[in-house]
Amino acid sequence: MQLSGVVVIDKPAGMTSHDVVQGVKKILRVRKAGHTGTLDPLATGVLPVCTNEATKLVPFLAEERKEYQVTMRLGITTDTLDIQGKILAQKEIAVDDREIERVLMGFTGKIEQRPPRYSAVKYKGKALYKWARKGQPVDAAPRRIMIYGITLESIQVPDVVFQVSCSRGTYVRSLCSDIGDRLGCGACLYALRRTKSGPFVETMAVSLDGGEEDLLRDSLEHKMVTMSEALSGLAQVVVENAMADRLRRGFQPTVESLTGKEIPSLAAGDVVKLITHDFKLVALVRMIRSSDQMVSADLKERFMEILRVFND
């Protein structure tokens, strides 16, 4: 039986997200693994890694909101927008605590943000950081992101520590740089720790540092989150084993096949998980029509579109 699920790794500073994935593959001896959202080498904290069949969940889990603890250094701007980059300018910090807090709070809500020149965003099929390293830096088009909330923790100039909850695609380096520009003194990211990624939090995380491989394997297997649990925020429909087998062979759910099942209140376009009675994930589907339209629909009508099927 495949070892399919999600393990939450406490990524150390200095290690790439790809390195973490390769470490998980080696320790768990799995064929496939992938993370749900890159952390820069500078950053630490929550990095969910999906294994085997659970790699099919990555596009869905990557959409979840993220939370970070951020240390921003005022008065310094760099080419990478973090403290590890080449210093481009240093300015005197002539702002008080009240102004810093006011500007911080002004970045909540929907905002436009330009990805850093040193990032994995693609331009003409090549990551921006590759253009920058060749001496041909490219400015990507601004993107709309959502900052759900910012909580100021401390100000000890030149450092400002705050918590931020944000949407997928947010670059905290860019956020720090933009805050610094608005304050007039410039700023860069000094330290970053992801504390939450969707349903995955710090208390679930396992460190890969300094442990024997057998002990790490036991720890990862013990803390592995099942595919169904990883999608705890989705509504679910329970199906019998016979229907699960049909779904895995490509069957598209019809009104007739769903008759008698407990269907939650759903709108057209909602994503739903289909699970067995023993909570194994069978498929992810998108509602073609709302659930309240089932009573008037033809029995042979397709009512759900299969997005992913899981064989573990």
Q: Is 19 a catalytic residue?
A: no
Per-residue tokens: 272: 């739903």
In the chain, where do the E strands start and end?
Answer: 5-11, 33-35, 44-51, 66-74, 76-78, 87-90, 109-113, 122-123, 126-127, 143-156, 159-166, 187-197, 200-201, 235-238, 271-275, 281-287, 304-309
Distance between CA atoms of 309 and 272, rounded to whole angstroms? 12
How far is CA 189 from each of CA 143, 148, 171, 192, rounded to the nearest angstrom?
20, 19, 10, 7
Name the catalytic one among 10, 19, 40, 79: 40
According to DSSP, the residues that pair with 254 across neighbouring strands are: 302
Distance between CA atoms of 75 and 157, rounded to whole angstroms? 9
Distance between CA atoms of 81 and 176, rounded to whole angstroms? 8
Distance between CA atoms of 65 and 4, rounded to whole angstroms? 23
Residues marked active site are found at: 40
